Structure 1
Amino acid sequence: MTPVDLFSEIARADDRAALVFADGRTLSYAELNARTLRFAERLGRAEKRLIAISAEVSEHVIVAYLGALRAGHAVAMLPPCDDRLRRDFLSAFQPDFTLRSIDGRWRLVEEVRSGDGTEPLHADLALLLMTSGSSGAAKAVRLSYANLDANAHSIASYLELSSADRTALVLPLHYSYGLSVVHSHLVAGGSIFIPGVSVVSDNFARVIGESGCTNLSGVPYSYELMEKTRFRTNELKALRFITVAGGRLTPELIRLYRDHMRVRGGRFFVMYGQTEASARIAFVPPESLSDNEERIGVAIPGGSLSLVDDEGHPLDRSGVAGELVYTGPNVMMGYGTDRSDLARGAEVTALHTGDIAMRDEQGFFRIVGRKSRFAKVAGLRIGFDIMEQVLAEEGIAAALVGDDEGLQAHVTDARVAERVRRILVEASHLPANLVSVLERRDLPRLASGKIDYARLTEEMLETRKKSHAAAVSTLDAYARVFYPHAVNRNDSFVSLGGDSLRFLQLTMELDCLGVALPEGWEHRPIAEFGMWPQVTPSSRIAEIRALPTDLVLRAIAILLVVVHHEMLWPIPGGSGVMLLLVGFSLARFQSGHFLTGDFRQALRPAINVLIPYFLIVVAYALVWRAVPWASITLTGNFGYAEPARHEMVPFLYWFIEAYAQTLLVFSLIFAVPAVRRLARAQPFAFSLVLLGLAIAARFSLPLLIEIGQRQIFTIYWGLHLGIFGWCAGMAGKPVQRIILAAVAAAVLGYLAFWETVWIGTTIKYLTIFAALIALLYMPRIRLPAYIGRLMTLIAVSAFPTYLLHRFVPELLMTPASGALPIPVFHLLAISGGLAVGVIANKSWAQLRNGMAMARNSVRPTQLYRRSAPFLNGANVNSNPTNIERTVAGGAPHSA
């Protein structure tokens, strides 16, 4: 028998319940004693053996594990679903027996070992556990019987466990935390409940409550999942404490569960440990769990904590960071990489945890980083854990990896991506082009629930291999879309003065390249494109695509306009949605230029709208042999001119005039430096003031300026819609979105139901309100890939479609107007109008691409090669202007 008393309570062999199962069955201490002894007899006691167990949470595994230890053998607890690790372990450590489920039955198999590693196992060796997140060759932590016994008694002591306690075993048994739950309850004579359901199950809380469990232990991910099932809403009267370890639980969840247990007279233990210390190292006494949730507490009974600097010298002062060192009887014997290592005795007296910690004046420790979770980026030493904590304090969960070439953050909420990037730039003091943020559906996790940083790092390095080619092709796309302006790899869409039209064109170009665009990509330098995921051709066919909401709305709006102009149905919301999108696009792409007084950049996109418009005006002038001055001066929407008198082009083009006048209004507003300062200080509040003024103009000016029904085309009639869109682009916080939605409900609701003169007006303002809510609360809309491509094609062709669609029925189809049935004529006119827009857009794109490639005989790849030194992080500060433009352009939108 083993010389420690880990099994003293089992050996009492009484009728107390030891294991309890979800079906109501129990295994008493007497039955557990008998079964573990029988398993020990199967293994024999003559020679110390190594037994590798596939560690599923089941009574068979628990009995085999305890039986092997009682017989004095060593046990390796292996993840049950990791075949690669099992093969590596068998090859390196050559166990004498394996226990695993084969065809639904648990089988003990005696393995045939090679002649290597014939030295006997060390007498003290009890347990091998694989290090968390290990990869490559198997590496194990060697733990002794005394390690397990000391840690079990220490945990039972500070948790005040007794024979009346029953725990719910929801943690893996190949995980040191899970085994420590078993050990501590067995030495206290308590019982272990195996629920048979996951923490994500809706029945989990009910099962725990009915089982009579007095405590529950989980990792941070367990609590995140439990929140999704509203675990805290259940009344679990028997639950007297819960514990968390195995990683950092967010301060918000710590406070929630701390207060939840306090109200019920229970306790919440935040603990810290490592496999190398048999599980537990420190804990926070629940009565000390105040608002300093980041603390790991004090050493467990029998152990001690200290800090050392990089040279190993002790650090005694509070508030100084150093490596955390733990000493105690639960510190491992050492590591092992093959069978021969298992013959060695204890080699470690003090455990250097690898965590960077600080001690406060009360003697409590807190982790501030990890030695291996650092990188020196652009000459600055950056701690990834510290950066994660900075984000957590802002209520953002993220996983950070990086190396000397930059930081990479992973988030699951696309709406916070640009905000995360801004926070990291400010906190790290790194140039913006060295910080990237990727969106993913879920963060990869290890079996223990911890984030799999090794996998994230591997993905980062793999995508970096593709970065050169991706950046070249992306730079090529930018050069085509922004022709004739010069483009380099440190430019962003916003810094180049991109607008909504170029946004759509570039979106389609990048989609053809297979680039998956994250939220906020328009503010990011071209150099970062190689670090983003690529969409494979097969996935482009079958996947659900998440398109920007404004892109989808633009496609819907132009469809409504084309149909309404042909059919005269009561669906006039298309032009209103287009006005809304004008304001939203100005906030998204030009706000940084307006707020800094850079009107050259802010107004440059107007060229792409006005040149095609004036070409149409010239065409009308040549046909009419008269100059339509009202259209040339962009004032025809004020009602003083008539197309019939050839004073202006048809009313159809009022939207272009309203667009130009909107830009003029914004330019006049932001031309005053004091106004710009105010807008930069309080961007959303300032935007609400603008909205109030526009709404006042909408209701007052029609009373002063009487132009009849032509007033619906004037700027004062529709400016409030554009500023609603601007406010939507500025509303980065939930409370701001709520305020804007409430104002919109009041104003647009009044216009839809009280001021309305016909059903079309009601539909118009309800459509605009729905579009605004979508912009506020649906940053992306998920569509099947083929529908997404069609919507993108329609959206990118929206402007030429608007300009040209009426030429189809009024010019091209005039000879057939009497010969075709009316429904067929309407259908051909609508589809023809859309087709003309698509053809015109593609023709212009081909012409633009050809001119871009021929520009000065310099191809985009040559431009890329000129800036190649930036690829490896060299000269990261040699072009600060571009960096500043990128940051400045992104700040107002995300404020």
Structure 2
Amino acid sequence: MPLPRFAPLSSPQPPARGPGVPFARDLAAHGDRTAMITPSGEVTYQALAERVAATAERLGPARRLILLAGANRADALVVHLAALASGHVVLLVPGDSAGTVEALAAAYDPDVIARPDDHGTWVLDERRRRSAHTLHPDLALLLSTSGSTGSPKLVRLSHDNLQANAESIATYLGIHEADRAATTLPMHYCYGLSVLHSHLLRGAGLILTERSVADAAFWEEFRAARGTSLAGVPYTFDLLDRVGFAHMRLPHLRYVTQAGGRLAPERVARFAELGRRSGWELFVMYGQTEATARMAYLPPALAHERPQTIGVPIPGGSFRLRPVDGFGSPDTGELVYSGPNVMLGYAETTADLALGRTLEELPTGDIARRAPDGLYEIVGRRSRFIKILGLRIDPQRVEAVLEGHGIRAACAGDDDALAVVAARTAHVDAAAVRRMVTAGCGLPPRAIRVRLMSELPRLASGKTDYEAVRRLAGGARTSAAPAPGDDLCALYAEILDRTDVTEDSSFVSLGGDSLSYVEMSLRLEQAMGVLPADWHTTPIRELRAPRTARNTPETAPRRGLRRKLETGIALRAIGIVLVVGSHIPVFLVQGGAHVLLGVAGYNFARFHLSVGERRERLRRMGRSIARIAVPSMVWIAFALLLTREYDLANVVLANSLFEQDNSDPEWRYWFVETLVYFLTGLAVLLAIPWLYRTERRNPFGFALALVALGLIGRYDPWGLAHVRFHLSPTVVFFLFALGWAAARARTAGQRLVLTAVALVTVPGLFPGEQTLRTSIVAGGLVLLLWVPVLPSIDPVNRLAGVLAGSSLYIYLTHFHVYPHLRDHSPVSALLVSLICGVAYGAVATRLAPRLLSSLQALIRPSALGTPLVPGAARNG
């Protein structure tokens, strides 16, 4: 570091020096442990302490304001620690933004500027030997709020703030001297800085790197340094998915932390499960720069069960809920934090540097709910501030910047993007608006969506309609061109009848089930050409990424092109045709309904058990049960009025619960009754916390236990079966359980076990010698186990999709269609039965969601009080 030139003395006596931060003063206590691993080698704590002491001596005894251009480099860290250890005040700014360095230097007139020169050599530009400012004795650090740039508003943090937060984080993460953390986040960002502080406190190692996790060289460095921890904001986790993190061998990785914005609950659950399998833990955290970084964390053991929450206060901190108009529940209000890490206050001018503590507790601006288990969940935001890619953005400030350029605009957004609707003029285009917003708030262009309109959207009161702004600009990158992936979002919204689809959504996270799966898969296949096997749990963002390559002219799907058809869809289509055809009869090939039970179990495991949080699972199970039961009861009630062949027990799907004779009509809907019983019973079982946790910990073992339970019922030792043995719910449950286990089987050994069970237990299920029927059922289950997809062509896929998607409705209606036609033409009776079922399905799938939503809207206010604001995000 070149010797700086000092300005002439202007004060006879230096002001009193602050106490310094203990962890920065006590580095030498950790001796020869590794403190830093840099591209040029390792540095021990003793060597680091010597460099820090030498730099502190050069900074001098007079307390000064030091602007430090932050970087994940040894030089920057040494200056930072030297300043903290000797009581100077650090103004930490992004080192990669020359504009921000200059802007804050102009606003706060620092006494020293520490940054690299044009050749990369680190220099101290010392403007004066003594400070031109009055610096409060407690003041240690100045940070921009949540890593934001372009604003002179800073957070004032004390020595005690820094020490207390480092100790708290080190405590709940269990950081010890053998840990080694990579610098995956910027030093000037409070989250990245907290990683440095908490590890230095415990004598742990820092892997100093400026590489991205998307860089293969980063992982080489991480493995070579025996890295134990990674920290990331939501975008970091996007990058981890892209580079194949799930399949990496990282033998020393102990935990991963996430903050800086909301990570979708389904992704929290997925990464927590990945960690469980790979031997590391996931800590989801919540915080703000105003709290020196952290206020809450979610214990890793709860990440599966409660992924939508921010968890509990950090050690030494506490929350209270301040009542807010519109939220009547005592368990809901603005989240207010207290603790030794709460900032001294804000600074907007140099005069504020003389202030001491101006607040004792921190109103977060977030609306939160405290659950009965003590965990906190963010349900809304009190202000219009939003956090995007870890940066806190004030939409009103963006509007003011645009207004300064003569552009009238309204801004809103969420955790993924900033939506801007601007008034169209002759001199304004969307690209120019995006450039202005990028320059004004520091967001990358991909996170800004612009739409031009003749007039800004207004409410009847004349105020700006910000909800309309979100809708209008939420999917547009320009006024004419939609952002990549928006067509997929629209497709998901259309088929699943949802208004909250984002690029982080997946089919399963949006509540998709077997009734909508077929249509969704076929429509996606038409749009994308090829679907990955796990598309139903893959976020739209990740589906979108390879789409461009798949839909080139050479690979775009063509009618008649060889395709793949999922075995589950094929079995549903073939099964329903066998059911109807055998009832007419056009042929006599029975067993289709029993195959469909196995497929139902397979789909249950794929769609309902992929959601991590218990309450969300139960809610979606209830919705799926209603989507089966409601159209079934409506149709059977209609048939009762039409034919008088049924009774009330049939209408309410309770025929199997009563003693009945062997007459045919009352048993026609045994399959629907059985399916509703299974889904309801399983929803009740999985509502039991320990069973829920058991299934999450050992999915295949849990499914195998259900198969064993089902096999007891299969042989009916207690005489529970009714007069039609092979139609009894207790008897056929093992088929549903086998389908469930098939979806959970991951190894050839597991599949062999299930194959043996199917081949041994299906024979003898049906009355008399029915070899073909037995073969159909056993063959269908084995096919489901071993052959996930079948070769096909596009027309067959389309036909199979229509039949499979309408299989429930075909089953319901065909009993009252084919009798009118079979004497004339059995084949016509089959075709018309299928067509009528498809038609009823089209009506039911469009009306049922609206009916369910209406019922929920009637129930929710009385059950839950005022509805909570959806879509809120964690801060970081």
**TM category, shorter:** 0.3 to 0.5
- The structure richer in helix per residue is 1
TM-score between the two structures when normalised by the length of structure 1: 0.44
Higher Rg: 1
TM-score between the two structures when normalised by the length of structure 2: 0.45
